[in-house]
Chain A
Amino acid sequence: GEDVEQSLFLSVREGDSSVINCTYTDSSSTYLYWYKQEPGAGLQLLTYIFSNMDMKQDQRLTVLLNKKDKHLSLRIADTQTGDSAIYFCAETSYQKVTFGTGTKLQVIP
């Protein structure tokens, strides 16, 4: 079946850039997503990219997609303490969605 993997934890200093990585196995993925989950809250869609794109930028967020290596990354520029959360990548194919296990981002003031 489909598999989406992420590293568990990332720690950065406030003001630095954060890069969260994700790998997936499904070559028929159509869209790939990044979600943010804060403690006690549901998931918030941050951004998504169509599988025929290799980059998308949205304010402080930059998504890079390497379809050949099935690798997705999320770069957060000028990371703030409010960015501390768990970040999930997800992919869809054939109308089903698969989430990764999440990366906990800790921002040190």
Chain B
Amino acid sequence: DAGVTQSPTHLIKTRGQQVTLRCSPKSGHDTVSWYQQALGQGPQFIFQYYEEEERQRGNFPDRFSGHQFPNYSSELNVNALLLGDSALYLCATTPGLLFNEQFFGPGTRLTVL
């Protein structure tokens, strides 16, 4: 079992650009949550996808959007990048909507210049 995988591992963008991050869930998991972890902080919940729909959303602007595919993999899109979007973006997957068996991927480090 490959666990939760994310791509790319690192990314450098400039302000105003758009970025797409990808996540493949652990085998048997159908729910994907995305988090933003700024340096020295805890992860902040962005949103959760289940059955290809956004189910819950944290306090993030509409510049942050996502998608879930029929194979349960997911993408996080961020438009009009700001310097403050620089962070580690973590994907976590669960079998169903509860967070009790949440497995995290290694993350994508995004740097916005």
Residue positions of A touching B, CB distance < 8 A: 1, 4, 31, 33, 35, 40-45, 48, 88, 90, 92, 95-102
Contact = CB atoms under 8 A, between A and B. Distances in A.
A48 to B, nearest CB: 6
A103 to B, nearest CB: 10
B28 interface: no
B44 A95 contact: no
A45 B106 contact: no
B100 interface: yes
Contacts of A35: 104
Of B42, B56, B58, B103, the most chain A CB neighbours within 10 A belong to B42
B90 A95 contact: no
A4 to B, nearest CB: 8
Contacts of B92: 42-43
Looking at chain B's contact residues, is the secondary structure mostly helix, strand, loop, or mixed? loop
Given A31-B99, A42-B4, A42-B106, A96 B41 contact: no
A99 B99 contact: no
Interface in B42-76: 42-45, 48, 55-56, 58-59
Nearest to B45: A97
Given A42-B107, A43-B90, A98 B45 contact: yes
Contact of B99 (A4, A33, A101): A33
Given A35-B104, A100-B42, 5 more contacts: A31-B100, A33-B99, A45-B101, A95-B48, A96-B56
Nearest to A86: B42
B56 to A, nearest CB: 5
Interface string B20-50: 0000000000000101000011111100100
Of A42, A44, A100, the most chain B CB neighbours within 10 A belong to A42
15 contacts: A4-B42, A35-B104, A42-B4, A42-B107, A43-B43, A43-B90, A43-B104, A45-B101, A45-B103, A95-B97, A97-B45, A99-B35, A100-B42, A101-B41, A101-B42
